Amino acid sequence: MKQICVVGVGYVGLITAAGFADLGNRVIALDISKEKIEGLKNGEMPIYEPGLEELVERNVKSGRLTFTTSYKEGLDEGTEFVFIAVGTPSGVDGEADLQYVEAAASDVARNMSGELVIINKSTVPVGTGDWVAGIVRRNQPEATPFSVVSCPEFLREGSAIFDFMNPHRTVLGSLDRDAADKVAQLHLPLRAPIVITDLRTAEMIKYASNAFLATKISFINEIANICEALGADVTEVATGMGYDERIGHHFLNAGLGYGGSCFPKDVLALAHMAEEKGKHPQLLHAVMDINADRRPMAVERVIQMLGGDVKGKTIGMLGLAFKPNTDDMRDAPSIDIATQLIAAGATVRGYDPVSMEVAAPLLPDVEMYTDPYSMAAGCDALMVNTEWNEFKQLNRRQLRESMKQPVIFDGRNIYDPDEMKELNFIYRGLGRGYNGANTAEK
């Protein structure tokens, strides 16, 4: 059993802390937010993630997981590893804001009581590992041995616990091979391939991975636009493409584009790093432009379906979070879509199984409902913004009978166009070719 300190109890930090505790280690989760730490001590999760509350509760009861606001307590003489897992939001020009990483590294340096392996878990620009090492050296009261290892996270919101326990790979980067090997030993129980490289390469693997996945999303959305123009069905196109092992099926679902805490800021940060070095990341800019275009496009489609004007119309939004199984509203398409619809004169309602509490202050002019059926009653149109399984199981006949107009814009292609036509909906998905066009032209 190793003793680990995890700095930051946000999304990555809390999953990392609970995960390593569940593997049998003693983990001290540290955060400067007294509110978050007190909440966790009382069993209150600062984020929504399926299975997280049970995982934390189990490891707190076993004594393997504790919470503190004290660096002195988190870095007592038994601690061998410290993970820095604090936020790195986008700065003014798209660069990653490293103020929280700097503060954490400084506090670690001032409070370390013995030799440490300092592990960057946050997504940080290439070169940050060297920068963190310099911060630690400058802030140590007296010289104490330490090493810096980059260990980027690859957690998907909504399935993060599964991803932690079943990683595709673990990437480690360091200039100290012994330190990298020690961190590799921590991950051995996960029985996944371990890639050991230098600091900057490990940091780049994270950015390149997220940028590639974002590119697949924007690519299939571009194909969806072309499918609509040519009369093809993007869902079948994606299925046919995906059987090629070089392409694969993942991230080929046409929709409203990506959002959340990772893809938007990571693609932007990578483009910023490239431009700082005099490079011209045209593909990355195209990926971001295509993604940004999805939101006004969705608004335009709804306006078209309602006869060219939404003034005085009521539109209900099925889903607010940027993806299912999370309450994360960061860069959620629903925010831009609702804002644009309201600016066009519409009344907007919203329902989400999980995220309404988080969404309410971000969408103060959207009326929130506690169930989808009461929200739909009297609506002129519904929009599917998030592909929650709950929405796939809705009684569409009941929805249609309660709506003022039976109009549905399916921004995630969760419904079958032929079935919606049989139910007498005016329905339109994205890139659905003949089916989508025929159904929308009722």
- pLDDT for res 435: 54
CATH value of 239-440 in 3.40.50.300, 3.40.50.720, 3.40.50.2020, 3.20.20.70: 3.40.50.720
Residue among 12, 11, 22 at smallest CA distance from 60: 22
Between residues 437 and 92, which one has the greater pLDDT?
92
**Catalytic residue selected from 5, 227, 262, 379:** 262
3-197: CATH topology: Rossmann fold (3.40.50)
If residue 116 lies in a helix (H) or strand (E), which one and from where to where? Answer: strand 116-120
Distance between CA 437 and CA 441 in Å, rounded?
Answer: 6
Average pLDDT value for residue range 159-180: 97
Task: Round to whole Å and give the CA distance between 146 and 75.
Answer: 13
Closest CA to 125 of 83, 151, 88: 88
Cα 213 off chain centre by: 12
- Residue 146 host element (H or E): strand 146-150
Model confidence pLDDT, tens digit, residues 18-65:
999 999 999 999 999 999 999 999 999 999 999 999 999 999 999 999
Tell me the DSSP string of 225-248.
HHHHHHT--HHHHHHHHHTSTTT-
Q: What is the pLDDT of residue 441?
A: 42
Average per-residue pLDDT for the chain:
96
Mean pLDDT of 255-278: 96
Task: Supply the DSSP symbol for 155.
Answer: P
pTM score? 0.94
Q: How far is CA 302 from CA 84, 225, 337, 339, 383, in A?
A: 44, 16, 10, 14, 8
Here the tokens at position 401 are 């009978």
* Cα distance between residue 179 and residue 411, in whole Å: 47
4, 79 contact by CB (below 8 A): yes
pLDDT of 442 over the 90 cut: no
What residue type is 427 in one-letter code? Y
CB 357 within 8 A of CB 367: no
Task: State pLDDT tens for residues 409-441.
Answer: 999 999 999 999 999 999 999 999 865 544 444
Q: Who contacts 337 (Cβ-Cβ below 8 Å, separation ≥6)?
A: 256, 295, 298, 299, 317, 383, 385
Query: What confidence tens digit (pLDDT) does each residue in 312-361 have?
Result: 999 999 999 999 999 999 999 999 999 999 999 999 999 999 999 999 99
**Model pLDDT, residue 92:** 79
Count the neighbouring beta carbons within 10 Å of the beta carbon of residue 50: 16
Answer whether residue 383 shows pLDDT above 80. Answer: yes
Annotated active-site residue 262? The verdict is yes
In angstroms, the CA 112 to CA 140 distance is 8
Terminal-residue alpha carbon distance, the chain: 65
pLDDT at 408 over 90: yes
- Would you state the pLDDT for residue 440? 41
Indicate the helix (H) or strand (E) that contains 372. Answer: helix 372-376
Q: What is the pLDDT of residues 4-19, one digit of tens each?
A: 999 999 999 999 999 9
Neighbour-count burial of 345, counting CB atoms closer than 10 A to its CB (0-12 exposed, 13-18 middle, 19+ buried): exposed
Contact 396, 421 (CB under 8 A): no
Range(s) of the chain covered by CATH 3.40.50.720: 3-197, 239-440
Q: What pLDDT does residue 117 have? A: 98
pLDDT at 437: 47
What is the model's pLDDT at position 438?
43
Evaluate if residue 133 carries a pLDDT over 90. Answer: yes
Residue 184, pLDDT score? 98
